[in-house]
Structure 1
Amino acid sequence: MTLTVDGLDALKALAGSDLGTSDWIDVTQDRVDTFADATGDHQWIHVDPERAKEGPFGAPIAHGYLTLSLFIPLFTGLLDVHGVTTKVNYGLNKVRFPAPVTVGSRVRLAARLAEVADVPGGVQITVDGTIEIDGGAKPAAVLQSLSRFYA
């Protein structure tokens, strides 16, 4: 369920809040192939399902950076901020990929709004996120994301 807030003050009031979990996103071979085309990373472990069956994971896996890029659509399913003029990704403090995402898996985001800090013209948010794999013992990614919202 998407939490909608109106303006920077409402966003500041959420600092320290658990934002819950997003809906699931399917990680399909088509998604992996499209990412491979966009990045030029056509390593067989991602794009050759037959060869990948014989590889270490028994199936093709998503690129780690594909998994990371899913943070944005997953996060926008958790928090929608109105009353701002601009929203930008500012960066990452850290990211780890504890487990691979095999093609055919589903992932979702569990997130906490760790901090909201003033910056010139707006605020910077720090989000602690875990991208979970449906049925997985370990998460696909653990990260701390920084975004800025300007009034």
Structure 2
Amino acid sequence: MSQQKIQLDGIDSLRALEGEALFCSKPLVVTTAMIQDFCRSVNQLDWFHFDEQRAKQSSFGAIVAPGMFTMSLIHSVFFEHVELHNMKALFLGTDRFRILKPVKAGDSLTLRFSCHKVEQREQGIAVHWDFSWHVNDETSPVTLGNFIVRYWPQLTP
């Protein structure tokens, strides 16, 4: 059975979320193929992303993902949980992104997402979203940060 998406209808619905948790995602199992496909796409060809035997013998104990790997997953996981209506959006940037622990092939990730702050702009609003990725149901995150998205009302013709 598929999970019902959170429906956000217009920028007032975003204002109402300030200070609130939005969702905790279902687990996403990280595979070696996912890590290596990402690494190839950004030309990050270090041995600890590709050489399974050497990685097993290293302090990591397994193939590890680059730090930006979890950041790259946020967009798709966000839209697995949320639908936007009557607004348009533009990603503005990231603040305070931290990589705290390695993500290994075989780990199960969950994304926790909340609305930190909503700022009024001349047109529309800027929303500061806090996120943290957690591995294997641990309470402390492996990566965390904040990113800013600008939203405007969708004008109907």
Q: TM-score scaled by structure 2?
A: 0.87
Find the residue that maps to 1:100 and give its secondary structure: coil
- Aligned CA RMSD, in angstroms, stands at 1.6
Query: Pick from 122, 125, 131: which aligns with 1:123?
Result: 125
Alignment size in residue pairs? 150
| Equivalent of residue 50 in structure 2, options 20, 44, 47 | 47
Q: Are 1:71 and 1:131, in contact at CA under 8 Å, matched by a contact in 2?
A: no
Structure 1 segment 1-151 matched on structure 2, within 5 A: 2-84=5-87, 86-136=88-138, 138-151=140-153
User: Partner of 1:20: helix, strand, or coil?
Assistant: strand
Find the aligned partners of 1:47 and 1:146 in 2 and give their Cα distance.
33
Q: Give the Cα separation in 1 of the matches to 2:81 and 2:145.
A: 16
| Bigger Rg, structure 1 or 2 | 2
TM-score when normalising by structure 1: 0.90
- The percentage of counterpart residues that share the same residue type is 26
Tell me the CA shift for residue 137 of structure 1. 5.9
- 1:2-23 per-residue CA deviation (whole Å, 9 max, x = no partner) reads 3111101111111111113012
Unaligned runs of 5+ in 2: none
* Residue segments in structure 1 that go unaligned for 5+ positions in a row: none
Q: Return closer, same or farther for 1:76/1:70 CA change in 2, 3 Å cut-off.
A: same
Letter in 1 for 2:140: K
3-state SS in 2 of match to 1:129: strand
SS of 2:151's equivalent in the other structure is strand
**C-alpha displacement at 1:117, in angstroms?**
1.4
